[in-house]
């Protein structure tokens, strides 16, 4: 996995079931927008609110609809359900598995290292670590990650800490062509690429996939200043669909871009009128600032 990945929003129909037709249309839109790989059943896809069977059907639909690499979210709180979902995801067509850190019982770094090492031993597809302290209240330390980077079936990490220091340490401590550091926060995408990250999995790429992809293309083309400027134009939008409004914000913004994906699942709630108005203005400003592309 390298370049810009999209942690796909999961579309629901009026009855609250997964809308697979809309999911296929969303995949087509992302492909046409120039993204490099797709990430179904991640945080932006409401994975914790999907049943195990729903997750597999989402992964299967995405894998069948695209020629892009598929990095499927398969993490649960326990080892056995995570391994089972990973095996089923592989059978459904996923190329690799993105596994969030278990958090409920607060395992320490050594326990998490053992967990990932054992999972990688048993998994039929490569494992990507997923550190998202906003949701788990635990950040995988760069040294723990470094201890795992040499495993032949651990292919990388998505670091959603938003910390440039963390990204820099991860890149330096896992200096290995077989291990990829992926930026998980859109606000530091260009800066993360400049430190040596291979790409990113960005919530804002749901909403502006063509703009997010351009950041990586500019960086790869040696236009670092332009990449950082483009990223700066999208910082407020990124904040709106992550820290401020989260999944309901992503779904609202997608509808504003003529890509309706239905309502979020309970206990999440749709945005109120004032919030929708604020998000619409933020999106319009971001699109205007990047209109030349």
- What gap in Å lies between CA 223 and CA 219, rounded to an integer? 5
Q: Where are the domains of the chain?
A: 3-289
Percent of the chain with pLDDT over 90: 97
* pLDDT tens figures, 185-209: 999 999 999 999 999 999 999 999 9
- What gap in Å lies between CA 270 and CA 251, rounded to an integer? 9
Q: Consecutive 10-residue runs of the chain (293 residues): their mean pLDDT?
A: 97 97 98 98 97 98 98 98 98 98 94 98 98 93 96 97 96 91 97 97 98 97 97 98 97 98 97 98 97 66
State residue 271's pLDDT score: 98
3-289 — its CATH code?
A: 3.20.20.70
Contact 257, 207 (CB under 8 A): yes
Residues with a catalytic annotation lie at 130, 158
* 230-70-259-289 Cα dihedral, nearest 10 degrees: 0
Report the b/e string of 142-181 with b at 16+ CB within 10 A: bebbbbbbebebbbbbbbbbbbeebbbbbbebbeeeebbb
- Among 180, 125, 171, 149, residue whose Cα is nearest residue 2: 180
Its pTM stands at: 0.97
Contact 248, 269 (CB under 8 A): yes
- What gap in Å lies between CA 293 and CA 289, rounded to an integer? 10
State residue 292's pLDDT score: 65
Pairs from 221-230 (Cβ < 8 Å, separation ≥ 24): 224/190, 224/194, 227/190, 227/193, 227/194, 228/190, 228/191, 228/194, 230/190, 230/290, 230/293
Helices of type H across 66-175: 79-92, 109-122, 133-136, 142-148, 164-173
* pLDDT tens figures, 92-110: 999 999 999 999 999 999 9
Bridging pattern class, strands 96-100 and 127-131: parallel
At residue 183, the 3 state secondary structure works out as strand
State residue 293's pLDDT score: 45
Residue 201 known to bind ligand: yes
């Amino acid at each position: 996995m390298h370049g810009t990945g999209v942690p796909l929003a999961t579309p629901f129909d009026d009855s609250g079931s997964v809308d697979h037709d809309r999911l296929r249309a969303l995949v087509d839109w992302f492909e046409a927008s120039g993204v490099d790989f797709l990430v179904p059943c991640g945080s932006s896809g409401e994975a914790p609110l999907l049943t195990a069977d729903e997750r597999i059907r989402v992964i299967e639909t995405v894998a069948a609809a695209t020629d892009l690499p598929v990095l499927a979210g398969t993490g649960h709180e326990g080892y056995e359900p995570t391994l089972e979902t990973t095996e089923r995801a592989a059978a459904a067509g996923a190329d690799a598995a993105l596994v969030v850190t278990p958090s409920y019982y607060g395992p320490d770094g050594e326990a998490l290292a053992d967990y990932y090492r054992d999972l990688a031993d048993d998994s039929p597809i490569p494992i990507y670590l997923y550190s998202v302290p906003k949701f788990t209240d635990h950040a995988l330390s760069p040294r723990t990650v470094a201890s795992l980077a040499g495993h032949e079936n651990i292919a990388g990490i998505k670091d959603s800490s938003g910390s440039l220091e963390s990204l820099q340490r991860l890149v330096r401590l896992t200096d290995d062509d077989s291990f990829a550091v992926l930026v998980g926060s859109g606000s530091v995408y260009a800066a993360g690429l400049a430190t040596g990250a291979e790409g990113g999995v960005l919530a804002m790429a749901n909403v502006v996939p063509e703009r997010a992809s351009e950041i990586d293309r500019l960086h790869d083309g040696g236009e670092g200043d332009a990449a950082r400027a483009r990223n700066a134009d999208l910082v407020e939008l990124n904040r709106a669909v992550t820290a401020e409004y989260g999944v309901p914000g992503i779904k609202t913004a997608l509808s504003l871009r003529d890509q309706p994906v239905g309502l979020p699942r309970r206990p999440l709630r749709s945005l109120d009128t004032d919030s929708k108005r604020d998000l619409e203005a933020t999106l319009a400003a971001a699109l205007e600032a990047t209109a030349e592309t």
